[in-house]
């Protein structure tokens, strides 16, 4: 899901390029303030609206700063004078790396992955952490940076924040409370999503979860219940009603799914790593999935559950049962490896050889 950059110049489109390559192009003058840029599937915007692009380009063009001379040694007779501690983010450079990010004028979100853990106080925890480090299982944390902006996040997700940020939770009276409770019941999302306004940094709870960063461009995303994690305050999070009986009864998600709509950056919690998520683009086509590993969809797509063959007898004898079916034009995100992890968690490696393959069946 990690997006790459594209730009238009001289009537042609270039990309994908990395953020570093984009800065290099700006430093060389190939990207001007009015050059159109987009990140992944996002909307085209003028380069001057990409925060920090030309500042970094100017630094790259100017080269490294000259080395300052060493200060004179302190007198031996007394200790050095006290100086106030600088304002800095609590996690120093090198403690983590940014594995995904997206930003707009007033909002930036980053998925941080800590390099390794090593603070266990007993041998059991130490053994678990050792094998987690060896297997590449990394602790992650989502950081939101606001520049006179607004963010929303799952209730209880806040770890700490610094700067000039106000947090509030608005109900809108009894009617608003009723809508919030209904939303929680049908989508598994928090009844009330806290809103954060101001300037500063917000760190959400660290976890071993996986995250997908997506930029909505005035569109609607329908996803599995409970996937929404955080996003810009301009986004609207609610419930999407299944449009047919088959998807409600046999689709695996029930009568409702989560709907996120609007324009802005959003973070979803994924059951598998982002690099294992497969995006399928449909152009008036049909996608059929044997299982419940379709995570989210956008565009004009109809979702239903259908027999794998035209006849009931063929469906019963094919062994495929019912298939999740997506028709139309848009995109569907799949997690093909999700079932493997679920079977490993349930029964270990032996389950891969003995457990039957998951399938949608009428039960």
Residue 155 belongs to a domain: no
Among residues 220, 203, 27, the alpha carbon closest in space to that of 228 is found at 220
In the numeric block, the tokens 């998600």 are attached to: 253
- pLDDT of the chain, 363 residues: tens digit per residue: 445 888 888 778 888 888 888 888 888 888 999 999 888 888 888 988 888 888 888 888 776 655 555 555 555 444 554 444 333 445 555 678 899 999 999 999 999 999 888 888 887 888 888 888 888 888 999 999 999 999 999 988 999 999 999 998 765 444 454 555 555 555 454 557 899 999 999 999 999 999 999 999 999 999 988 899 999 999 999 888 776 655 555 555 567 889 999 999 999 999 999 999 999 999 999 999 988 899 999 999 988 888 766 655 444 444 456 888 999 999 999 999 998 888 887 776 555 555 555 445 433
Residue 257 belongs to a domain: no
Residue 310 belongs to a domain: yes
In the numeric block, the tokens 């609007």 are attached to: 262
Residue 335 belongs to a domain: yes
Residue 193 belongs to a domain: no
The torsion region of residue 257 among left (phi > 0), alpha (psi -120 to 50) and beta comes to beta
Cβ-Cβ contacts under 8 Å for 244 (sequence gap 6 or more): 303, 304
Q: Which two tokens stand for residue 174?
A: 């009894």
Q: Which two tokens stand for residue 30?
A: 């190939």
Domain that includes residue 327, residue range: 272-363
**How close are the terminal C-alpha atoms of the chain, in Å?**
34
Alpha carbons 316 and 278: distance in angstroms, whole number: 29
Q: Which two tokens stand for residue 197?
A: 């306004």
Q: How many domains does the chain have?
A: 2
Residue 241 belongs to a domain: no
Final residue in a domain of this structure, among 46, 62, 78: 62
Final residue in a domain of this structure, among 19, 37, 62: 62
Strand partners, 305: 324
Alpha carbons 102 and 4: distance in angstroms, whole number: 10
Q: Which two tokens stand for residue 279?
A: 């995006």
């Amino acid at each position: 899901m990690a997006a790459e950059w594209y730009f238009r110049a001289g009537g042609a489109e270039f990309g994908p390029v990395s953020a570093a390559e984009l800065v290099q192009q700006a430093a060389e003058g190939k990207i001007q303030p009015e050059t159109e840029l987009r990140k992944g599937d996002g909307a085209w915007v003028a380069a001057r609206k990409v925060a920090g692009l030309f500042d970094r380009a100017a630094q790259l063009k100017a080269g490294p700063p000259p080395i300052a001379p060493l200060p004179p040694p302190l007198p031996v007779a007394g200790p050095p004078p006290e100086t106030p501690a600088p304002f800095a983010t609590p996690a120093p450079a090198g403690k983590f790396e940014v594995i995904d990010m997206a930003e707009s004028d007033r909002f930036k979100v980053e998925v941080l992955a800590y390099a390794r853990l090593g603070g266990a106080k007993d041998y059991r925890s130490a053994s678990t952490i050792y094998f987690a480090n060896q297997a590449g299982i990394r602790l992650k944390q989502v950081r939101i940076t606001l520049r006179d902006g607004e963010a929303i996040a799952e209730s209880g997700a806040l770890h700490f924040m610094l700067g000039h940020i106000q947090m509030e939770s608005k109900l809108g009276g009894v009617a608003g409370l009723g809508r919030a409770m209904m939303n929680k019941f049908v989508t598994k999302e928090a009844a009330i999503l806290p809103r954060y306004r101001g300037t500063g940094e917000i760190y959400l709870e660290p976890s071993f979860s996986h995250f997908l960063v997506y930029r909505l461009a005035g569109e609607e995303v329908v996803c599995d219940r409970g996937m929404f994690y955080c996003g810009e305050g301009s986004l609207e999070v609610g419930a999407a009603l299944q449009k047919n009986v088959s998807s409600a009864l046999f689709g695996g998600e029930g009568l409702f799914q989560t709907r996120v709509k609007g324009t802005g950056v959003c973070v979803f919690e994924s059951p598998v790593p982002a690099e294992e998520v497969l995006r399928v683009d449909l152009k008036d086509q049909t996608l059929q999935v044997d299982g419940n590993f379709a995570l989210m969809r956008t565009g004009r797509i109809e979702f239903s559950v259908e027999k794998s063959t035209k006849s009931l007898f063929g469906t019963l004898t094919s062994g495929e049962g019912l298939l999740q079916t997506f028709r139309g034009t848009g995109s569907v995100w799949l997690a093909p490896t999700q079932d493997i992890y679920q079977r490993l968690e349930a029964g270990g490696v032996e389950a891969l050889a003995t457990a039957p393959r998951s399938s949608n069946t009428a039960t």
